[in-house]
Amino acid sequence: MELTTVLGYFGALIIGLVMGLIGGGGSILSVPIFVYLFAVNPIVATSYSLFMVGVSSSIGAFKNYKRHTINFRIAFLFAVPAFVVIYITRRFILPEIPHELLTLGTFTLTKSVAIMILFAFVMLYSSVLMLKGKKGLIEPEGLMTYNIPKIIFQAAVIGFFTGLIGAGGGFVIVPALIVLGNLSMKQAVGTSLFIISINSLIGFSGDFGHLDIDWPFLISFTSIAIIGILIGTSLVHRVEGANLKKGFGWFVLVMGLFILLKELL
């Protein structure tokens, strides 16, 4: 077995560990691992990421369901417009994007390169959110009120980008649920995992018929990630979450810059 393959499967374990500890970050790590360690086409990598994150998030969502930390009304209000847009994007928009988008001198911007550049920007944005922590997020008090139009609009926007780059959007969804859905932090994390599981698996279903899926590889990768999640959830009370999230934020920032420079240069 090649070193890159070993590192890739070890990365699957780390993905699960991170998701189990901080409730997100799976897609931020999985797409680069699929592309750079397993040499998977970026379009296929986004599809694999949706499946892996969808299955993994379902486990986290089930645990939060047992803890009664999922607000199902907000979850479906957010999930329905998001998964409709995700499915349309994966099924109809992404396949129609031409292979070559732009040519400037000797540089040709292909669809695959554009996906990775967009993914790098999402990584940079996510790293900023993680490094900021809870600053600016005021947990609700008293009677719950929902900003329904803004929830639907933001869900559709997140759905579009999730469909394009295969990222679940947990680091964007959690702040949105707190600010627009008036949820507590615990409810926001639990509800976010439920939303991500639905969105990711429905987004993955939109790839049936026009992408060749290596099921043995995908299932083995996802299984290792699930083992990591189980380890992470067992360690969550022994690790300082805020410090872990900031450390992961710096790692994502460096990775985002690396991907951006690699694809452009």
Tell me how far the alpha carbon of residue 153 is from its chain's centroid. Answer: 19
CB 203 within 8 A of CB 162: yes
Task: Tell me phi and psi for residue 73, to 5 degrees.
Answer: -65, -50
Hunting for tokens 């999730």 — which residue is that? 162
Instruction: Name residue 100's beta-bridge partners.
Output: 110
Task: Tell me phi and psi for residue 110, to 5 degrees.
Answer: -90, 170
Q: What pLDDT was estimated at residue 35?
A: 94
pLDDT per residue, tens digit, the chain (265 aa), is 789 999 999 999 998 888 777 766 777 889 999 999 999 999 999 999 999 988 988 988 888 888 888 899 999 998 899 989 999 999 899 999 999 998 888 888 999 999 999 989 988 988 887 787 655 455 555 555 667 888 889 889 888 988 888 776 666 777 778 777 788 777 887 888 898 888 888 889 888 777 889 999 999 999 999 998 888 777 766 776 667 778 888 888 998 999 999 988 8
Cα separation, 11 vs 210, whole angstroms: 27
Cα separation, 229 vs 23, whole angstroms: 9
Record the pTM: 0.82
Cα separation, 99 vs 114, whole angstroms: 10
